[in-house]
């Protein structure tokens, strides 16, 4: 489950994720999309303690559960002997990952989710374990909340 080459996988994945969030945040501002509607209400009625607990859970539970589902169970449904099957597995699981996040409405969010799914899938194959994609997913959660905070302050 831990895998190998975790450091090099993270050194490539973290900047790609940061770049993706920067590009989509700029696009959302330029196109006038603003924040995702569900994000506007997400933390609005919570106390400070509830927000801290929610954010802590956000860094742990979605990365663990989603990476187990998409990058452990589903990706293993594909034969892993050839590069073409590995890419098919990455693309199919990335598409499912994006499509099953139905709470998002902006096409830029789905594009970003698809790219994140590819990054997580490649990290899974490159590292041979789940630790790298889970850590990258947690970083993406931080980047997503930061992007939303930036968009909220621009309104």
Q: What is the pLDDT of residues 33-80, one digit of tens each?
A: 988 988 888 888 889 999 999 999 999 999 999 999 999 999 999 987
Q: Residue 38's pLDDT is what? A: 87
pLDDT at 10: 97
pLDDT for residue 83: 92
pLDDT digits (tens, 9 = 90+) for 95-125: 999 999 999 999 999 999 999 999 999 999 9
In this structure, are residues 22 and 144 in contact, taking their beta carbons and an 8 Å threshold?
no
What is the average pLDDT across 139-155? 91
What pLDDT is attached to residue 125?
A: 94
3-state helix, strand, coil in the chain (%, to 5): 80, 0, 20
Reduce the DSSP state of residue 14 to 3 states and report it: helix
pLDDT at 1 over 90: no
Q: Report pLDDT for 67.
A: 97
pLDDT band at 17; cut points 50, 70, 90: very high
DSSP 88-105: HHHHHHHHHHHHT-TT--
Contact 103, 38 (CB under 8 A): yes
Q: What is the pTM of this model?
A: 0.94
> Do residues 86 and 78 touch, judged by C-beta distance below 8 A?
yes
Q: Of 130, 135, 127, which is closest to residue 9 (Cα–Cα)?
A: 127
């Amino acid at each position: 489950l831990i895998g190998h080459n975790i450091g090099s996988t993270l050194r490539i994945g973290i900047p790609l994720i940061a770049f993706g969030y920067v590009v989509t945040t700029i696009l959302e501002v330029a196109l006038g999309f603003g924040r995702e509607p569900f994000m506007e209400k997400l933390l609005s009625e919570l106390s400070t303690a509830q927000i801290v607990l929610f954010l802590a859970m956000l860094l742990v539970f979605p990365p663990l559960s989603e990476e187990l589902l998409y990058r452990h169970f589903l990706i293993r449904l594909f034969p892993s002997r050839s590069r073409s099957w590995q890419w098919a597995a990455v693309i199919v699981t990335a598409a499912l990952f994006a499509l099953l996040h139905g709470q998002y409405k902006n096409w830029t969010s789905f594009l970003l989710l698809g790219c994140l799914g590819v990054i997580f899938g490649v990290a899974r194959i490159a590292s041979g374990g789940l630790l790298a994609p889970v850590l990258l997913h947690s970083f993406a959660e931080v980047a997503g909340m930061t992007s939303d905070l930036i968009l909220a302050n621009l309104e």
